[in-house]
């Protein structure tokens, strides 16, 4: 009997050890990534964005174009072999996150956005000769509703509201006597309420004494389509749109 009890206690002890081991693994975070071991052969004094900033992407996916930055010296000459590191908020990943500039002084990384819709402020850093040099890059992650609005924009709106032509679309902007506002024109569109934008989209420009060249889309777009389009307009506004909400006074 005593032998049996001891055997049960041993088995229970093994189970408890296993449980504590699992708790330890679940409760411990992985150690922070070690500092880069890349050895720079040169250093610059300036860092500039070459391409890849201000892109629109979908939450949780990689941006279409890579982010490219360039390290220069005091004379504006590209610096090969300089260290560049990329940083971003939680959920954003870079591939790679650190590298040495190539023969053209550039560092290129693929950016995958986080799972939360909104503006992501990224940064690129190079140690420099005497102090670190940093530049900020903004990318935009669209949520589901904003993505639907983006598709509707391409289908119904961008031909007139976007002055730039693309391989898929020829802009009609320059043919219009009254120029439409680009959806990114936050200085103008941010001052308009959602109700104002809804009225113009559904009933055309004359609904708010605007240009009659803006046709009504009330019979083309559903109410949810209009909300999605407005959500997209708010997302791409520059300067950023600040929604009216509860304001708390400071003590």
Domains and CATH numbers, the chain: 46-141 (2.60.40.10), 144-236 (1.10.760.10)
Long-range pairs for 194-201: beta carbons < 8 A, 24 or more residues apart: 194/230, 197/230, 197/233, 198/226, 198/230, 201/226, 201/229, 201/230
**Does residue 194 carry a pLDDT above 50?**
yes
Predicted pLDDT of residue 32: 33
Residue predicted with more confidence, 20 or 187: 187
Tell me what pLDDT residue 166 has. Answer: 83
pLDDT band of residue 13 (cuts 50, 70, 90) is very low
What is the average pLDDT score of the chain?
A: 86
Nearest-angstrom CA–CA distance, 207 and 170: 28
Per-residue pLDDT for 239 more than 90? yes
- Taking the alpha carbons at both ends of the chain, their separation in whole angstroms is 71
Please check whether residue 196 is in contact with residue 127, taking contact to mean a CB–CB distance below 8 angstroms. no
Rounded Cα distance between 59 and 249, Å, is: 33
- Predicted TM-score (pTM) of the model is 0.76
The larger pLDDT score, comparing residue 245 to residue 107, is at 107
Instruction: Report pLDDT digits (tens) over 105-161.
Output: 999 999 999 999 999 999 999 999 999 999 999 999 999 999 999 999 999 999 999
3-state secondary structure the chain: CHHHHHHHHHHHHHHHHHHHHHHHHHHCCCCCCCCCCCCCCCCCCEEEEEECCCCEEECCCECCCCEEEEEECCCCCECCCCEEEEECCCCCEEECCEEECCCCCEEEEEEECCCCCEEEEEEEEECCCCCCEEEEEEEEEECHHHHHHHHHHHHHHHHHHCCCCCCCCCCCHHHCCCCCCCCCEHHHHCCCCHHHHHHHHHHCHHHHCCCCCCCCCCCCCCHHHHHHHHHHHHHHCECCCCCCCCCCCCC
Tens-place pLDDT, residues 55-102: 999 999 999 999 999 999 999 999 999 999 999 999 999 999 999 999
Q: Cα–chain-centroid distance for residue 52?
A: 11
| pLDDT(31) > 80 | no
């Amino acid at each position: 009997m005593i032998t049996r009890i001891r055997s049960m206690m041993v088995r229970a002890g093994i189970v408890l050890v296993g449980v504590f081991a699992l708790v330890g693994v679940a409760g411990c975070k992985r150690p922070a990534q070690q500092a880069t071991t890349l050895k720079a052969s040169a250093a610059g004094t300036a860092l500039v964005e070459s391409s890849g900033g201000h892109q629109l992407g979908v939450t949780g996916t990689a941006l279409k174009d890579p982010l490219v930055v360039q390290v220069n010296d005091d004379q504006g000459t590209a610096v090969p072999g300089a260290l560049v590191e990329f940083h971003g908020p939680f959920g954003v990943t870079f591939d790679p996150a650190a590298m040495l500039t190539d023969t053209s002084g550039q560092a290129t990384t693929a950016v995958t956005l986080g799972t939360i819709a909104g503006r992501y402020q990224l940064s690129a850093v190079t140690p420099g000769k005497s102090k670190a040099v940093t530049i900020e890059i903004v990318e935009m992650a669209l949520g589901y509703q904003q993505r639907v609005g983006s598709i509707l924009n391409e289908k119904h709106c961008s031909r007139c509201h976007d002055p730039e032509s693309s391989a898929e679309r020829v802009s009609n902007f320059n043919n219009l006597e009254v120029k439409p506002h680009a959806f990114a024109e936050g200085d103008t569109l941010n001052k308009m309420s959602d109700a104002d934008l809804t009225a113009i989209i559904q009933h055309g420009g004359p609904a708010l004494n605007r240009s009659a060249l803006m046709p009504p889309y009330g019979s083309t777009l559903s109410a949810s389509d209009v909300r999605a389009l407005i959500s997209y307009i708010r997302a791409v506004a520059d300067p950023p749109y600040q929604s009216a909400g509860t304001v708390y006074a400071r003590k």
